[in-house]
Structures are given as structure tokens and as C-alpha cells.
Amino acid sequence: MPSSSIATSFRTEKETIDRLDALASSLGRSRNWLVNEAVSDYLAYNEWFVEKVREGMDAAIRGDFASDEEIDAVFRTYGAR
């Protein structure tokens, strides 16, 4: 199924647009491409983050915490005392 595009707009500082244009130019891409990549990356990261927080909250509600021994083992792995 082909994707559909919807036009949108936003306000930002001229300096931000200048930076977008400079980066897009250095990559050989359009401003539109760069903004779409940035929004896609932002959404992917934040969706992942929210899911990980939910998983952590669910584990906490279940009382699923690391034992003192497990925590000590992690600290020892990284040379912490």
C-alpha cells in the first residue's frame, strides 16, 4: 500500500533553518528529507523509551527487583566497590 504524505508547518528560529539547510546540503539531501529523518528518529527513540519505562514500572509493581547479590555482581563487573 503506498504511503500518503501530508503537508505540515512549524515555526522555528532562522538559525535552526540555516543549520538544517547546511546539514542537508552537506549530506546532498533536501531540508524536507532531513526533517523527516529527524522526526522519524525522534519518534522511534521516544516510543522505545516509553516502552522501557512501562516495562520497568510493570516490573516494580510485580516487586521484580534485583537482589543485593545481583547488584553487587554488576558493580564488581565494572570495578565498583
Q: In degrees rounded to 5, what are phi and psi of residue 50?
A: -60, -40
Q: List, for residues 36-71, the tens digit of each pLDDT value.
A: 999 999 999 999 999 999 999 999 999 999 999 999
Q: Where are the domains of the chain?
A: 35-81
Under 8 Å CB-to-CB from 23, ≥6 apart: which residues? 34
pLDDT of residue 46: 98
Residue with cell 546540503: 25
What is the full DSSP assignment across the chain? -------------HHHHHHHHHHHHHHT--HHHHHHHHHHHHHHHHHHHHHHHHHHHHHHHHT----HHHHHHHHHHTT--
Q: pTM for this one?
A: 0.73
